[in-house]
Amino acid sequence: MTRRKVLAALIMASMLVSCMNTIPPTRPGREIPGPGGPDLGFGQGDSGVYDLNGMEQSFRPAVLSAPFVRGLSPRVRWRTVEPAEGRYDWSYLDEVFQIAARYNKKIILRVHPGLSTPEWVYQAGAQRLQSPGRPASMPAPWDPIYLAKWTNFVRVLGNRYGSNPALYAVAAAGPTMGSVEFHLLGPKQEWERVGYTPTKVLNAWKTCIDAFAAAFPNKAIALNITFQILGDQELPQQIINYGLNSYGRRVILQGNWLSADTPPQRLQVMRQLSRQTTVGFQMLGTSGRIGNLRKAIENGLAGGASYLEIYQSDLIKPSFRGDIEYAARQLQIPPDQRQVSFSPGTSRYVPPRGHTEEFPRRFPGEPRRRRGF
């Protein structure tokens, strides 16, 4: 199976039926561990519902004591944890890990670089990109100084939490913008003006994936995937292939765009990928944004999820408790044994007239492109 066929399997829904048993190509002499091989994916006791909290916010006691919530998904800014080079403030994360141990919860950890990069990185010489008329700035994702400072932080982060039994997974990040997803927003021409090429971004992702894998050798590494980067549909698939080819099922794949209206094509792709590694989803937003919560949960289950990240504000609503408990029960069942399916009528997305791509250029729920850097 050629790499081109593998990439096509991720973006062409018309090929999904014939390609359901396709896996990414591996390096000569290397195999991706199958279901019976070495596996750092979700094991018994790890799958389930995870509490997605606001950035650097505390977790509510009502959620911590809930038996249907398996874990916590804290998010923190790099500049908060390392405000000056070599000076660390671990107070927020230490508290989260202490709480997880006390309540027997697992952790999916995210530290956000990109727009949350500390000022001292620029003072060290990293290329700063700033959107015209906006105060926010970020380093060029491929900048060598930025990558060196970031991967050193990742190493220190791993030294502190890499052996903690509460930690299930850590999200790989680095060539990212406002989150840990693959997104780079703004017109492609503006990115090219400041030096963007797909090869630079791919190599930056390889550097960061390697850094996380080395810093957390016994933990899962999560890629928070999108289906295009600046309109390029091959680039994210190359990043995914590199992760799977290099680290097998240690690399898990997550979509942060789950809703009641997630396009069925996306769910089919993720279900296919769940045959190769652990797949999870994060709700696109709270219930007010994603539509019917039960339907969103069913979409995730049908898409092969081993875990679902649901916003804390929904987890604490009594009216949703039945839906959350349903999700928790279903997530204990292997994806290929669930009696849940998605419907072709799930999505209300209507392609523009004359638009023939299986995947729209911007999916419902993805940020609209704005003026970039």
Q: Phi and psi for 342 in degrees, rounded to 5?
A: -95, 155
| Alpha-carbon separation of residue 52 from 75, 91, 235, 271, 283 (angstroms) | 8, 19, 28, 22, 9
pLDDT of residue 357: 28
Q: Within a domain: residue 71? A: yes
pLDDT, averaged in runs of 10, over the chain (373 residues): 40 32 34 39 76 96 96 98 99 98 98 97 96 79 99 99 97 96 92 96 99 97 96 96 97 96 93 95 93 95 97 96 97 89 47 31 36 43
14 inside domain: no
Residues 281, 181: contact at Cβ < 8 Å? no
Residue 220 is part of which domain span?
A: 45-337
100 contacts 72 by C-beta, under 8 angstroms: yes
For residue 358, tell me if it sits in a domain. no
- Does 304 map to a domain? yes
Q: How many domains does the chain contain in total?
A: 1
**In-domain check, residue 201:** yes
- State phi, psi for 198 to the nearest 5 degrees: -60, -35
Q: Where are the beta strands (DSSP E) in 135-250?
A: 137-139, 167-171, 220-225
* pTM tops 0.85: no
Q: Is residue 110 part of a domain?
A: yes
For residue 354, the model assigns a pLDDT of: 33
Residue 188 domain-assigned (yes or no): yes
Residue 174 domain flag: yes
**CATH number of the domain to which 63 belongs:** 3.20.20.80
